[in-house]
Structure 1
Amino acid sequence: MLQRPVLKVLQRLVKHVSTDSTSLFLERSVNRVQLLGRVGQDPVMRQADGRNPVTIFSVATNEMWRSGENESFQTGDISQKTTWHRVSVFRPGLRDVAYQYVKKGTRIYIEGKIDYGEYTDKNNVKRQATTIIADNIIFLSDNLREQA
């Protein structure tokens, strides 16, 4: 019973078809990332080729799982995997706040989008980079209170 209204809402979100036959077919999409983790390094601010400056830092997220024959009874070994994410902040106000207050070890929540790019390193080798472009940062550690 609830399935049809939800389907209609999703169809409206996913694609929009104009009634004008000469217009282009537009399709909506979503590129959203949410990270909750700890900062791995103090941020650096870079500016290249006259472009706007960017604040860059890394965030570690952990994934934990239990392995073994009897997972439902909480016996077995606990395994953990740490994933490192490169975060770039371009928005002027947020960029400056991140540069000033983000510190190594800070617990942080980030909302943004994922971006894939390619660059040439100093040895003239093409490399691929995955970056999280931050739109919002929420500080979860007490570091800001201690500095005030």
Structure 2
Amino acid sequence: MYHRPVFQALRQFVRCKSTEPPNMILERSLNRVTLLGRVGQDPVMRQVEGKNPVTIFSLATNELWRSGENEIFQTTGDINQKTTWHRISIFRPGLRDVAYQHVKKGARIYVEGKIDYGEYTDKNNVRRQATTVIADNIIFLSDLRDKS
């Protein structure tokens, strides 16, 4: 059917062969997020009854742009900034413990993981939605001692 190796590899990535009926074909998908930012709060470790502990902290990423009539190659104008806050959760035991001990407010870190959407009920019994990044890897880019 496909003779070129590139097409064969692409076909394998898009659809995994299965012995299941046609409506049960498993397709591969991808849920990856990469963030580079500064930690907004020292991590906390929480444990819900009967579940594994989780380390949680917030991470800020910034987007900068210049505003004006001609934004392409513009060297003058107002600089605008938007900060987006991300909730980072770590469940992997080794990474969870290292992050809890070494991640500090203000540290610059690189996070790889996946996005998870969930719901919870707050203290007032109101259902809320939460978006969380489940971290698989963290790279420490700076130490608080680097700050002057």
TM-score range, shorter chain: 0.7 to 0.9
Q: Residue 112 of structure 2 corresponds to which residue in structure 1? A: 111
Give the superposition deviation at 1:22. 4.3
- The number of equivalent residue pairs is 142
Q: Which residue of 1 aligns with 2:38?
A: 38
Residue type of the partner of 2:137?
N
Q: Distance in 1 between matches of 2:55 and 2:73?
A: 45
Structure 1 portions without partners, runs of 5+:
none
- Once residues 77 and 10 of structure 1 are traced to their aligned partners in structure 2, the CA distance between those partners, rounded to angstroms, is 45
Q: Which sections of structure 2, spanning at least 5 residues, go unmatched?
A: none
Counterpart of 2:72 in 1: which secondary structure? helix
Q: Matches of residues 1-148 of structure 1 in structure 2 within 5 Å?
A: 6=6, 8-18=8-18, 20=19, 22=21, 24-74=24-74, 75-143=76-144
Residues 71 and 8 (structure 1 numbering): CA distance in 2 closer, same or farther, change over 3 Å?
farther
| C-alpha contact 2:116 2:134 (8 A) present in aligned 1 | yes
Q: CA RMSD in A?
A: 2.2
Q: What is the identity, as a one-letter code, of the residue corresponding to 1:17?
A: K
134-143 or 80-89, which deviates more: 134-143
CA distance in 1, matches of 2:66, 2:96: 38
Q: 8 Å contact 1:101–1:144 — kept in the other structure?
A: no
CA 21–131 in structure 1, closer or farther in 2 if over 3 Å, else same: closer
C-alpha deviations, 1:6-47, integer Å up to 9, x for none? 5553332121233x4647311000000100000000000000
Letter in 1 for 2:51: R
Judge conservation of contact 2:43–2:99 (CA < 8 Å) in 1.
yes
TM-score (norm 1): 0.86
Deviation, 1:142, is: 2.7
Q: 1:21 to 1:33 in 2, by over 3 A?
A: closer
Structure 2 counterpart of 1:50, which letter? G
Moved over 2 A (4+): 4-12, 20-24, 142-145
